[in-house]
Amino acid sequence: MFARKLRALGYEKGGIFNIDDRDSLRHLVIWLEDRIFCTALPKHLQQGLRNQKNPQWRNVFSEYLNYCGCPFPLHEDASACCLDWLLREAIRLCVPDDRKQPMIPPKREKTAGPFENIDWGSREFYHGISKMAAMLNVPTHPDAAYLLTAVAQVLKARRAVGMIDENGAELDGLRLEEVTLGFDQQDKKLWDACRILRLLHIQQLRGLQTQIDAALVAVQIITADPLTDSALGRTGF
Amino acid sequence: MRSYEEELKFIEKISPSCWRIKKGFVPNMNVEGVFYVNQHLETLMFEELRNSVGHGDGGSIGGFLPGVKQIANVAALPGIVGRSVGLPDIHSGYGFAIGNMAAFDAADPLAIVSPGGVGFDINCGVRLLRTNLEEKDLLPVKEQLTQMLFDHIPVGVGSKGVIPMNAKDLEEALEMGMDWSLREGYAWAEDKEHCEEYGRMLQADPSKVSMRAKKRGLPQLGTLGAGNHYAEIQVVEEIYDRHSAKVMGIDRTGQVLVMIHSGSRGLGHQVATDALVEMERAMKRDKIEVNDRQLACARIHSQEGQDYLKAMSAAANFAWVNRSSMTFLTRQAFAKMFQSTPDDLDLHVIYDVSHNIAKFEEHIVDGRQRTLLVHRKGATRAFPPHHPLIPVDYQLTGQPVLIGGTMGTCSYVLTGTEQGMLETFGSTCHGAGRALSRAKSRRNLDYTDVLAQLARQGISIRVASPKLVMEEAPDSYKNVTDVVDTCHAAGISKKCVKLRPVAVIKG
């Protein structure tokens, strides 16, 4: 099950690798650490891992995995899972892909972002967010966090409309009462609620479709290679 | 034999634009027939019937029965439900009239599938691309752009495509449809979203397509073909429904659009031909009785029926790959001409419809939801707003329906309606529909006159065979405006945008 991954990584003993063989596994783990990860390990881990004859090697390996942020615990029958995870991480590091951050080293210093120093409860913050809400015609609310969520949602929706606008799918000039639903309802309020629900549902579907499109585009980056050869073509008659 | 007056007793006007064909007009009718015409088209329709009376062979002229008879013969096929529907652009075709839709109950063991109800050009259809260009941007470079499009898209009988393809690619394309184009990078993700069936019939099975069909199809991928197929640069002439047009990305008159009308080329034709042979055998075995031997068919669930549906789906996939490939070439031509990228030119697919196809769909019949095999031959699917099978962008407007005109005449974009869903199983017209047969057109018209007329209208044209132009001359066809107005008046679809051609390339 690891042959292709090992070949991709250029592991010379990939052809004869056997996960059940103790030495084989230890050799591979050390090879991965030395050649690919080069993690800044604490001294005891660094030495313990490299000593293949160490009777406690498995415990060291378990600690190592933990240190690297492996999501799987190293049980008796879970070596394959852990090793597969290590190999995937290694491939991730080897294959240049600027969209993904390497998982190792996992322990990073928390950086102070622009929102780190905001005092959410301050009068100043509430005042600012109220001003924004007023500009966007969002009804006010005493809880600043609540108001911020509403403002964020409106902004996100506005941006979405802007994006749809580029594709020509804006709800331009269509009033709520002009939205037909294919069924009838006497109660005006219930009727409006149905329309709003339906519009929200369509918005949600649009979001899903956009995600699907993005996934397709991501795959196209790998598979697409359109070619035209005008020498092949011939106009008829 | 009945006189013309006696024939007329079976035909009754039920609304200003709709006529009913009563049972008994032809033998064994299981359901009634219906057709939609306005006053002008009505004259053509009844003239055709009058001319057929007195002819031997059941009124067949030149091998084809008049449209009204064909609608009625389809109503006599086993398993048909609702009504056999004739749309305003109806004209005689092989078995089924072109512009005829009929639905068969998939749960009925006797119900049939008929290649004649799909047509020879399987998944012939229309695709519309929009641009952010205006007519004034186009005029100075119109001739060069037309030439460039003509250089990029191979046209005509026997034309060969420019997209390198081997037998394995073809197998994959037949199975995957537009997913193949996407994978290979000829299409955008958004193209798939705005395409009927998302550009892929899932039941397609390339192994049911004969070697002969594949051999015919392989070199033809990405070619326009001949006949009534074309690629046209059009401008928006009039917007009737501002909101729906805006949703499609059409927001002003003079905006430039590109329409591509093409199908599955020789591959689809061969699939249909192969199936007809098989079905004649199946008809004898299963003792299926039909009024016209052109209505060759097989039970939906028989081996022949299933094989045809799988092969037809593969041919449909081929047609989508074909239109996608031509979209790719169009984008290249525009990008070169305007020294920009297709993205910056906003060359998005508005929609892609198929007007020669049979599909399983869910419909309400007699108050009950049923799975039907809907045959649309020269008829376009027109689903109403909120239908789950139309793209999310068109959920509020209804499915865009693309009606291609003929060389030099207008085209239209319509939208599907609830009424269409109830009356015609969500179907509407597909184009102008022939008024003169091809042979008659060749006799009556001169191609130099036709070309001169187009030049007077300011339409650039590039054709692979000028002598075939008269077959496709506007005079050979019904007036597309009459056709569209009838559908609008009957409420089976709604007018949205009118388009005017400025440049045409043809086979």
DSSP reduced 3-state for A210:
helix
Put simply, the answer to whether B393 touches A167 (Cβ < 8 Å) is yes
User: 3-state class of B351 per DSSP?
Assistant: strand
**Same structural domain for residues A128 and A195?**
no
Rg of chain A taking only CA atoms, in angstroms: 28
Q: Which B-chain residues 378-407 have CB contacts (< 8 A) with chain A?
A: 384-386, 391-393, 395-396
Task: Copy the structure tokens of residue B465.
Answer: 């065979």
Measured between beta carbons, which residues in chain B are less than 8 angstroms from residue A213? Answer: 189-190, 193
Q: Decide if B242 and A173 are in contact by the 8 Å CB cutoff.
A: yes
Tell me the backbone φ, ψ of residue B168, rounded to 5 degrees: -70, -40
Q: Which of A48, A80, A102 is the last residue of a domain?
A: A102
- Rounded CA separation B352/B343 (Å): 19
Is residue B348 part of the annotated active site? The answer reads no
Based on the domain organization, do A149 and A52 belong to the same domain?
Answer: no
Q: Give tens-digit pLDDT for B352-368.
A: 999 999 999 999 999 99
Mean pLDDT of the A18-31 span: 87
- For residue range A169-219, what is the model confidence (pLDDT) as tens digits? 444 567 888 888 877 778 888 888 999 999 999 999 999 999 999 999 999
Residue at token pair 């790959």: B321
Phi, psi of A40 (to 5 degrees): -80, 85
For chains A and B, CB pairs below 8 A equal 125
Predicted-assembly ipTM surpassing the 0.90 threshold = no
Decide if B21 contacts B35 (C-beta within 8 A). yes
SS3 assignment, position B124:
coil
Judgement on whether residues A86 and A125 belong to the same structural domain of the protein: no
Query: Looking at A148, A173, A198, which one is the last position of a domain?
Result: A173
Any known ligand binding at B411?
A: yes
Same structural domain, A10 and A98: yes
Do A53 and A129 fall into the same domain?
no
Residue A15 C-alpha, separation from nearest chain B C-alpha, in angstroms: 31
Q: Are residues A96 and A69 in the same domain?
A: yes
Q: pLDDT band for position A168 (50/70/90)? A: very low
Residues A88 and A125 in one domain: no
Tell me, what's the pLDDT at B62? 67
- The number of distinct structural domains making up chain A is 3
Tell which of A127, A158, A173 closes a domain.
A173
A233 shares contact with chain B (CB less than 8 Å):
yes
The letter for the amino acid at B209 is V
CA B124 from centre of chain? 5
Co-location of A133 and A222 in the same domain:
no
Q: Which residue in the set A180, A220, A228 is minimally distant from B162, CB to CB?
A: A228
Question: pTM, whole model, 2 decimals?
Answer: 0.79
Q: Are residues A130 and A141 in the same domain?
A: yes
Q: Are residues A115 and A98 in the same domain?
A: no
- C-alpha A167/C-alpha A150 separation (Å) is 26
B38 labelled ligand-binding = no
A96 and A108, same domain (yes or no):
no
Whole-number CA gyration radius for chain B: 21
pLDDT at B428 over 90: yes
Residues of B in contact with A236 (CB under 8 A): 154-159, 223, 226, 464-465, 507
Closest residue by Cα to residue B36 from B448, B490, B395: B490
Phi-psi map region of B366: left, alpha, beta (phi>0 left; psi -120 to 50 alpha): left
Query: Position B58: which residue type?
Result: G
B489 is in an annotated binding site: no
> Domain residues for A68?
1-102
Using CA atoms, how far residue A91 sits from A2, A108, B438, in Å, is 12, 21, 63
A9 shares its domain with A95: yes
CB of A167 less than 8 A from some CB of B: yes
| Spatial contact of B95 and B292, defined as CB atoms under 8 Å apart | yes
Chain segment B225-281, per-residue pLDDT in tens: 888 899 999 999 999 999 999 999 999 999 999 999 999 999 999 999 999 999 999
pLDDT digit string (tens) for B133-161? 999 999 999 999 999 999 999 998 888 88
